Structure formats: C-alpha cells, structure tokens
Amino acid sequence: MVDAAPKLSVRDLTVRYGDFTALDRISLDVLPNEIFGIIGPANSGKTSFLRALNRMEEFQPSMKVEGKIYFNGQDITAVRNVYRLRQKVGVVFPLPVGLPMSIYENVAFGPRLAGVRKRSELDEIVERCLRRAALWDEVKDRLNALGSLLSGGQQQRLTIARALSQDPELLLLDEFSIAVDPVTTMRIEDVLRELKDEVTIILVTNLVQQARRLADRTAFFLESELVEVGVTEDLFTGPVVDQRTRDYVEGRFG
C-alpha cells in the first residue's frame, strides 16, 4: 500500500467561510483501497474537508476553497462536469437523507440520471447495491415501499446503497453512526471493511475507537490544522509524534 500512487492528494488546502478559517493549509495523501480515518474535536475542520473534496462550495456562496486537490492525478477544480466528479465521489452524511420515493427508486435514481433506462439493468444495480450495503435481505420483498418508512439504521444503509449506485471510486462518510444504534453501527462497519476492496473510503468520525477499528491510516485535525497523519495503531500505541494526538485519542480533551 505504501508504494501505491495516491488516489487523492491534497496540497495546502484552505477553507474559509467569510472571515472564519475552517481549514488552514492541509496537505495529505489518501491511498487506493484504504479506509482513511479523520478524527478531531468538533469544529476542527473535518466536515469542511469532505465538502471541499466534492466541490460543495458551489452550493455555499460563503465557502471559499484555496489550494489543490488531485483525484486520480487530476485537479478537481479543473473538472468542468461537476456531476461526473460527484459520480466518482459518493457522500454519506451524518443523518440519513432519503429521497421521497420508494426503496427501489432511491437506489435507481442516480443510474437513471446517468442514462440507464433498461429495467433489467436497473434491477441488477438496485440488487447489487442493496446487497453491498447489507440491506437486500431486509427489503427485497418491499422494494416499492417508501424509503422513509425504514428504520434509522436501514435508512442509513439505504443512503450507502444510493451512494454506491454510480460505482464511485471514493466514498466519503461523515459521522455515519450518529443516528443509528450500536448493533447497526457494527453492521455498517462490516460493510465498510468489505467495500474497501472495491472503493477508497474516507471516514470522518468523532468516535476514536471506531477509527481504530476501521481505518488503515488516520489524520488528526485540531483547530483547523492537520496535527499529524499516520498508521492508525501507531497513533494509539506507537511513539508519540505530537502529544496532542495522544491526549485526544486517550480522551484527555475533545
């Protein structure tokens, strides 16, 4: 993994909202098919980092992004077709955001926008994505039911299935377990472990033990800065590079 070309390279990334600096000159690499964790207290810039990766500043006029973000070696600011970029970069938000339609159509919506019309192809995509999100067995007999009628944990897995429906290369997860119970959280964690064979995953979490369980490498953000990034277990048990990291993962603040 260490010798692999980065899937994502971020150089001197700065994000501002008006006069407030959410991220200050962040530089890091994310490698192919790894789960890359991002930890840090509230307001340390974690969510702003994900927003910049998906060019969400185009929806938020006060958000200004500086620096370079390279995805598969290409500067994402030079991508003219933002929709195609977002096909390759899926996002799962903290609270499940289901579309006001059936379970089937929640997953088929993206492929339809991309031009898939044949019912047989859509059927295959829907089943594949629901299986990858560990939801198929629970909903296969009620695909025409409203997605909003599912439990919170099921809706979050439906959100993951929808994010997977366009075969993204990079999956961004922002506090996916906030609204789900511990049992469902562990099920989703199992899903993520399996998905990393196919997709590169960036996992933002306030649960440091979740990062320890899942992430191959982890970055620690604090007060808009990247304190350090390294092999996850080293941040917990290895030689201390920055005492603030050890203090945070051991619960002394945050």
Residue 212 lies in a domain: yes
Please give the residue range of the domain that contains residue 175: 8-249
Region 151-158: mean pLDDT is 89
Contacts of 84 (CB under 8 A, 6+ apart): none
Q: What's 236's domain CATH number?
A: 3.40.50.300
The average pLDDT across 54-61 equals 86
Let me know if residue 1 belongs to a domain.
Answer: no
8 pLDDT more than 90: yes
Residue 234 lies in a domain: yes
Among 57, 62, 60, 76, smallest CA distance to 10 is for 76
**Model pLDDT for residues 162-219, shown as the tens digit of each residue:** 999 988 999 999 998 887 788 888 988 999 999 999 999 999 999 999 999 999 999 9
The number of domains in the chain is 1
Q: What is this structure's pTM? A: 0.90
Find all residues with CB under 8 Å of 217, minimum gap 6, and list them.
Answer: 31, 34, 36, 37, 229, 230, 231, 232
Tell me whether residue 24 is in a domain.
Answer: yes
In a domain, 3, yes or no: no
Position 79 confidence tier, pLDDT thresholds 50, 70, 90: confident
Instruction: Please check whether residue 220 lies inside any domain of the structure.
Output: yes
Inside any domain, residue 2: no
Residue 16 is assigned to a structural domain of this protein: yes
User: Which run of H or E residues covers position 158?
Assistant: helix 152-164
